[in-house]
């Protein structure tokens, strides 16, 4: 047989052109630069319609991700996207491979459904068998002699074992199908570890094994489904108990850069070098020479690993035959990053509609805290949460801690800045109440899908940005309007003294519209006198309301008289108006401007 050496580009081209797998080259801006015929079929567009357009799926380097595709036979199916880094025309780019995995997905689904259905069907009869046998064993149905009791107790033990296996099978099949719904919340890992370890005390005492639980006095906050972490602890402690004949079992906890870890060690028979790398695989049970307890399903550690990974944590095992084993799992510290990424992942599973996220960081909290009681700060967080919830179902608080707030909004099609204004107003008002001061905060924001398509990228972008609200506010344009020249000057000087860099004045109602036309800019805030010759403040507001460009402009009314709010009702429903009496008090002016822009 002759093997032809293929060192020309046309040879490679032929492979790529005829490959059943889809190949695309996508540049770092996600734009498609090359596409082969298979990829064009999968994406259901002609190659020309794909070139120079964004790749329509998330680009994730580490894990293969699934997508919907059109198969060669024109039917819908499932594809798997793999991404690797390459150089293309002297620049960094991605080589994206799409493989049709429809058959595998169907087969996997059938297998999962089978396992899940069978386990489900087994559960009910097992429970009723357990119940009936227990009643006989307990003598409820008449006297039972010692021998009969012995046999019944073997039955019960084995039913319990079967039930455990069935539950584990159900668990793993749900986890593998991505169907497990975790109920995560902020919790203390120290407390979870302590209480789940203490449950083992009586068993270990009976087995005459030493048991040491050394956990810190502090709290280790994590973002977890408590029951699931207890399940991991039960598995590790159960195994340690099962495979240790004499000596000691120890539970210890440590904190290391950004995560908390818990280790369960024993002085049991250990795990051999050959077995150790396979220990977390499914259905792996290894023959033990001195197994004192009953056998299991070989699923416990596989489930524990899945659980830990679903919490973005890690688990590992070290062991030496004859000396003992140590299993350590580490979970990331509770943080906005965990909560928000989970939230985004859930949202992306449900829908592909646009959304935006704001991440606000309160900068000076430490200087605020000594001034007020800590409980008030906690209370402020709760108030922010409830006010955000009241903004309607399009908006929701995702993460609220005293110094950090992450809020989500379905994209407001009509006005994107509306959400930001409302969010900032809430934060300013509530912290002003608590600290009696203007708080300094910075923020980041992202829009899905334009800023990223997966939770990691979106969160990274959102949390990296640190736009200072104070600096941004100081650069806003303020127009002060009064027919009395000295008064406009006085307010202008005050505002400049507060740090506002762009304060302009006008001395008539008409002046507002001249300013907008001449400067070709709508001011960010209008400070307006109501009683002016010619066009009054009321008329100015009425005209502003009519134009799309100016209808949302915030206004601070400065008046020596009672303001007729009834006349401004329409406008107020659009945009809050605050009023300040003349003569203007500097501190009040400062506060109102702070709230309005
Ligand atoms: P099982 O439910 O059968 O115990 P696991 O997945 O929890 O399944 O454990 C798989 C295998 O790993 C066990 O059968 C045992 O061989 C080994 N193993 C787990 N923990 C220990 C330990 N602490 N000491 C020795 N061997 C262990």
Query: How does pLDDT run across 329-369, given as a tens digit for each residue?
Result: 999 999 999 999 999 999 988 888 889 999 999 987 877 77
Q: Which of 28-42, 294-308, 566-580 has the highest mean pLDDT?
A: 28-42
The predicted pLDDT at position 461 comes to: 92
pLDDT band at 562 (very low <50, low <70, confident <90, very high): low
The Å distance, Cα 129 to ligand 1 centre, comes to 28
Give the atom of ligand 1 at the shortest distance from the alpha carbon of 324: 24
Give the atom of ligand 1 at the shortest distance from the alpha carbon of 235: 7
573, pLDDT greater than 50: no
Q: How far is CA 6 from CA 3, 87, 141, 508, 565, in A?
A: 9, 21, 82, 82, 84
Give the atom of ligand 1 at the shortest distance from the alpha carbon of 295: 3
Quote the percentage of the chain above a pLDDT of 70. Answer: 91
Token duo for residue 81: 């996207």
The predicted pLDDT at position 549 comes to: 85
The Å distance, Cα 578 to ligand 1 centre, comes to 69
Q: What are the tens digits of pLDDT across the range 221-266? A: 999 999 999 999 999 999 999 999 999 999 999 998 889 999 999 9
Nearest CA-CA partner of 565 in 553, 579, 555: 579
Strand ranges for 243-323 from DSSP E: 248-256, 259-266, 314-320
CA distance linking residue 292 with residue 289, whole number of Å: 9
The predicted pLDDT at position 568 comes to: 56
Q: How far is CA 563 from CA 270, 540, 575, in A?
A: 83, 14, 16
Q: What is the arithmetic mean of pLDDT over 12-38?
A: 91
Taking a C-beta distance cutoff of 8 angstroms, is the pair 349, 334 a contact?
A: no
Q: What are the tens digits of pLDDT across the range 481-509? A: 999 999 999 999 999 999 999 999 999 99
pLDDT band at 564 (very low <50, low <70, confident <90, very high): low
Q: What are the tens digits of pLDDT across the range 120-150? A: 888 889 999 999 999 999 999 889 999 999 9
CA distance linking residue 184 with residue 342, whole number of Å: 9
CA distance linking residue 500 with residue 186, whole number of Å: 41
Q: Classify residue 331 as exposed, middle or buried by CB count within 10 Å of its CB (0-12, 13-18, 19+).
A: buried
Task: Tell me the pairing of strands 502-506 and 248-256.
Answer: unpaired
- Ligand 1 touching residue 285 (CB < 6 A): yes
Nearest CA-CA partner of 183 in 311, 363, 302, 304: 311
Give the atom of ligand 1 at the shortest distance from the alpha carbon of 284: 10
pLDDT band at 452 (very low <50, low <70, confident <90, very high): confident
Query: What does the mean pLDDT of the chain come to?
Result: 88
- Ligand 1 touching residue 197 (CB < 6 A): no
Q: How far is CA 290 from CA 126, 244, 284, 294, 325, in A?
A: 30, 9, 17, 11, 15
Q: What is the arithmetic mean of pLDDT over 151-166?
A: 90
The predicted pLDDT at position 291 comes to: 54
Is the model more confident about 485 or about 373? Answer: 485
Q: Token pair 């990691």 is at which residue? A: 456
The predicted pLDDT at position 3 comes to: 40
Quote the percentage of the chain above a pLDDT of 90. Answer: 55
Contacts for 280-287 with beta carbons within 8 Å, 24 or more apart?
280/304, 280/305, 280/315, 280/317, 282/172
- Ligand 1 touching residue 167 (CB < 6 A): no
3-state helix, strand, coil split of the chain in percent (to 5) is 45, 25, 30
pLDDT band at 276 (very low <50, low <70, confident <90, very high): very high
The predicted pLDDT at position 2 comes to: 39
- Ligand 1 touching residue 516 (CB < 6 A): no
pLDDT band at 287 (very low <50, low <70, confident <90, very high): low
- Ligand 1 touching residue 326 (CB < 6 A): no
pLDDT band at 575 (very low <50, low <70, confident <90, very high): low
In our burial notation (b when 16+ CB lie closer than 10 A, e otherwise), range 509-547 reads: bbbbbebbeeeeebbbbbbbbbebeebbbbebbeebbee
- Ligand 1 touching residue 284 (CB < 6 A): yes
- Ligand 1 touching residue 324 (CB < 6 A): no
Token duo for residue 62: 């580490």
Instruction: List 68's β-bridge partners, or say none.
Output: 78
The predicted pLDDT at position 402 comes to: 86
DSSP string, 432-482: HHHHSSPPPEEEEEEEETTT-SSHHHHHHHHHH--EEHHHHHHTSEEEEE-
Residue closest via CA to ligand 1's atom 20 equals 239
pLDDT band at 63 (very low <50, low <70, confident <90, very high): confident
- Ligand 1 touching residue 458 (CB < 6 A): no
The predicted pLDDT at position 394 comes to: 84
The predicted pLDDT at position 173 comes to: 83
CA distance linking residue 289 with residue 483, whole number of Å: 98
206, pLDDT greater than 70: yes
Residue closest via CA to ligand 1's atom 7 equals 300
Helix H, strand E, coil C: the string for 400-431 is EECCEEEEEEECCCCCHHHHHHHHHHHHHHHH
pLDDT band at 61 (very low <50, low <70, confident <90, very high): confident
- Ligand 1 touching residue 240 (CB < 6 A): yes
Taking a C-beta distance cutoff of 8 angstroms, is the pair 269, 234 a contact?
A: no
591, pLDDT greater than 60: yes
The CA radius of gyration of the chain, in Å to the nearest whole number, is 33
- Ligand 1 touching residue 243 (CB < 6 A): yes
């Amino acid at each position: 047989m002759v093997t032809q050496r293929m060192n020309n580009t046309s040879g490679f081209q032929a492979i790529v052109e005829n490959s059943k797998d889809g190949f695309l080259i996508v540049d770092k801006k996600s734009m498609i630069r090359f596409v082969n015929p298979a990829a064009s079929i999968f994406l259901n567009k002609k190659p020309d319609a794909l070139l120079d357009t964004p790749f329509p799926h998330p680009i994730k380097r580490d894990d293969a991700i699934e997508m919907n595709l059109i198969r060669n036979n024109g039917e819908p199916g499932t594809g798997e996207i793999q991404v690797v880094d390459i150089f293309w025309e002297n620049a960094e780019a991605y080589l994206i491979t799409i493989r049709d995995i429809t058959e595998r997905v169907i087969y996997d689904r059938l297998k999962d459904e089978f396992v899940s259905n069978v386990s489900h069907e087994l559960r009910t009869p097992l429970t009723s068998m357990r119940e009936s046998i227990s009643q006989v064993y307990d003598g409820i149905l008449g006297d039972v002699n010692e021998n009969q009791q012995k046999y019944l107790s073997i039955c019960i033990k084995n039913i319990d074992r079967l039930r455990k296996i069935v539950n584990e099978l159900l668990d793993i099949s749900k986890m593998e199908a991505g169907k497990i719904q975790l109920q995560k919340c902020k919790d203390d890992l120290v407390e979870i570890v302590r209480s789940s370890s203490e449950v083992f005390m009586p068993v270990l005492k009976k087995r005459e094994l030493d048991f040491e639980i050394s956990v810190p006095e502090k709290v280790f906050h994590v973002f977890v489904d408590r029951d699931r972490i207890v399940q991991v602890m039960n598995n590790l402690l159960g195994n340690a108990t099962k495979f240790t004949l004499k000596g000691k079992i120890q539970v210890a906890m440590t904190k290391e850069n950004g995560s908390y870890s818990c280790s369960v060690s024993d002085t049991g028979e250990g795990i051999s070098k050959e077995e150790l790398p396979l220990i977390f695989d499914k259905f792996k049970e290894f023959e033990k020479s001195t197994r004192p307890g009953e056998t299991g399903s070989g699923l416990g550690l596989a489930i524990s690993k899945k659980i830990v990974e679903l919490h973005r944590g890690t688990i590992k095992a070290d062991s030496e035959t004859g000396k003992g084993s140590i299993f350590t799992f580490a979970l990331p510290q509770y943080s906005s990053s965990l909560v928000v990424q989970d939230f985004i992942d859930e949202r992306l599973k449900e829908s592909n509609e646009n959304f935006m996220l704001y991440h606000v960081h309160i900068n000076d909290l430490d200087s605020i805290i000594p001034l007020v009681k800590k409980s008030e700060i906690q209370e402020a967080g709760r108030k922010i949460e409830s006010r955000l919830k009241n903004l309607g179902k399009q908006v929701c608080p995702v993460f609220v801690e005293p110094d950090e707030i992450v809020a989500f909004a379905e994209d407001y099609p009509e006005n994107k800045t509306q959400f930001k204004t409302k969010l900032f107003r809430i934060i300013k008002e509530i912290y002003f109440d608590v600290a009696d001061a203007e708080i300094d905060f910075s923020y980041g924001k992202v829009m899905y899908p334009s800023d990223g398509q997966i939770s990691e990228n979106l969160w990274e972008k959102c949390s990296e940005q640190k736009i200072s609200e104070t600096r941004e506010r100081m650069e806003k344009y303020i127009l002060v309007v009064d027919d009395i020249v000295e008064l406009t000057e006085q307010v202008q000087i005050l505002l400049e003294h507060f740090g506002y860099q762009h304060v302009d004045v006008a001395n008539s109602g008409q002046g507002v519209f001249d300013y907008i036309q001449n400067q070709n800019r709508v001011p960010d805030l209008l400070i307006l006198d109501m009683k002016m010759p010619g066009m009054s403040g009321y008329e100015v507001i009425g005209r502003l309301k009519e134009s799309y460009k100016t209808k949302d402009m915030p206004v601070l009314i400065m008046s020596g008289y009672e303001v007729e709010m009834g006349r401004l009702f329409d406008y107020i429903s659009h945009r809050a108006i605050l009023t300040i009496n003349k003569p203007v008090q500097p501190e009040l002016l400062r506060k109102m401007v702070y709230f309005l822009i």
